[in-house]
């Protein structure tokens, strides 16, 4: 049995978040689970009485997030891990560029995460082997069609976490960025394109937990998929763009047949 930790997990009502909550609860950790939907959190809490703290909140509401942090502090006095998993994805459909779409995605993936970091850091300073974790995306390795808003938000999150790693090192607070490929979740269920090497939420959660126990600064998976993305990104720009466009055209032709 590993160290019993006090863990705040956001986006815990479905997908990777719910799968992580299941694994962490089974290991005996104390969990503060946050999402907008309350029922899935209550269902898990009922199976682990006294171990799971349910906190429903809109993470884009800074005041609500601060209240969540204050509640955790009042009950536990601090945090050992904060796993910021909540996210959103919308794709751009050009020629109609939508600034509103960019704003919505940035609100959830960047600003809501920043709200949680603001609330979590004072608690992590009272933690045992504290670690700040954010779930990004492998999309940051390679620009992809229609991913202007989603990719930009996750790229911002990557820079944010990498910069925080430098500033938090002197305080003994470690950071981890999670960069998954395609994972089977309610969010990806609506994708209208092929998703190679897709993992189940449970498999993704298992890989994240292994990486966190090892203290990895970045957790990337699946390995072959990440390798291909990084290989394409290393190509000369003209060749990378040509190959990406050709792949997109092939996908369009498949859809019409």
Per-residue CA distances from 249 to 145, 189, 192, 232, 254 (Å): 11, 22, 14, 17, 9
Identify the pLDDT of residue 196.
Answer: 66
Distance CA 19, CA 193 (A): 24
List the structure tokens of 223. Answer: 């390995």
In three state form, how does the secondary structure of 146-204 look? CCHHHHHHHHHHHHHHHHHHHHHHHHCCEEEEEEECCEECCCHHHCCCCCCCCEEHHHH
- What the chain holds in terms of domains, given with CATH numbers, is 6-256 (3.40.50.720)
Please check whether residue 69 is in contact with residue 76, taking contact to mean a CB–CB distance below 8 angstroms.
Answer: no
Beta bridge partners of 32: 8, 53
Which residue shows structure tokens 């000369």?
236
According to DSSP H, which parts of the chain are helical? 15-26, 39-47, 62-76, 99-106, 112-124, 148-168, 201-213, 223-233, 237-256
Element (H, E) at 133: strand 131-135
The reported pLDDT for the residue numbered 245 is 78
pLDDT of residue 42: 96
pLDDT tens per residue across all 257 residues of the chain? 457 999 999 999 989 999 999 999 999 999 999 998 899 999 999 999 999 999 999 999 999 999 999 999 999 999 999 999 999 889 999 899 999 999 999 999 999 999 999 999 999 999 999 999 999 999 999 888 889 999 999 999 999 999 999 999 999 999 999 999 877 766 665 666 565 667 898 999 999 999 999 999 999 998 888 988 899 889 899 998 888 777 766 555 555 44
Structure tokens at 243: 């190959």
DSSP, collapsed to helix, strand or coil, labels residue 246 as helix
Long-range contacts at 191-195 (CB < 8 A, ≥ 24 apart) = 193/251, 194/251
Query: What's the confidence (pLDDT) of residue 128?
Result: 95
Q: Which pLDDT score is estimated for 34?
A: 96
Structure tokens at 129: 């082997």
Q: For residue 163, what are the contacts with CB-CB under 8 A and spacing of at least 6?
A: none
């Amino acid at each position: 049995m590993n160290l019993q930790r006090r863990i705040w997990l956001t986006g815990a009502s479905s997908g990777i978040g719910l799968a992580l909550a299941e694994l962490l609860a089974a290991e005996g950790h104390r969990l503060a689970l946050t999402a907008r939907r309350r029922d899935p959190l209550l269902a898990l809490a009922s199976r682990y009485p006294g171990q799971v703290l349910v906190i429903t909140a809109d993470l884009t509401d800074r005041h609500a997030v601060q209240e969540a942090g204050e509640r955790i502090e009042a009950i536990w006095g601090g945090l050992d891990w904060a796993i910021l998993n909540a996210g959103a994805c919308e794709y751009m459909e050009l020629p109609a560029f939508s600034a509103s779409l960019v704003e919505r995605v940035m609100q959830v993936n960047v600003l809501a995460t920043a709200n949680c970091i603001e609330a979590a850091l004072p608690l992590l300073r009272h933690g045992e082997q504290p670690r700040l974790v954010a779930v990004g995306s492998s999309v940051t390795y390679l620009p992809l069609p229609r991913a202007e808003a989603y990719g930009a938000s996750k790229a911002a999150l990557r820079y944010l976490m990498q910069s925080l790693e430098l500033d938090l090192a002197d305080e003994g607070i470690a950071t981890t960025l999670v960069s998954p490929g395609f994972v089977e979740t309610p969010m990806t269920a609506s994708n209208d394109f092929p998703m190679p090497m897709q993992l189940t939420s449970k498999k993704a959660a298992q890989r994240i937990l292994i990486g966190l126990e090892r203290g990895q600064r970045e957790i990337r998976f699946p390995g072959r998929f990440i390798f291909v993305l990084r290989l394409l990104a290393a190509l000369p720009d003209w060749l990378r763009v040509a190959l990406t466009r050709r792949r997109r055209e092939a996908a369009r032709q498949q859809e019409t047949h």
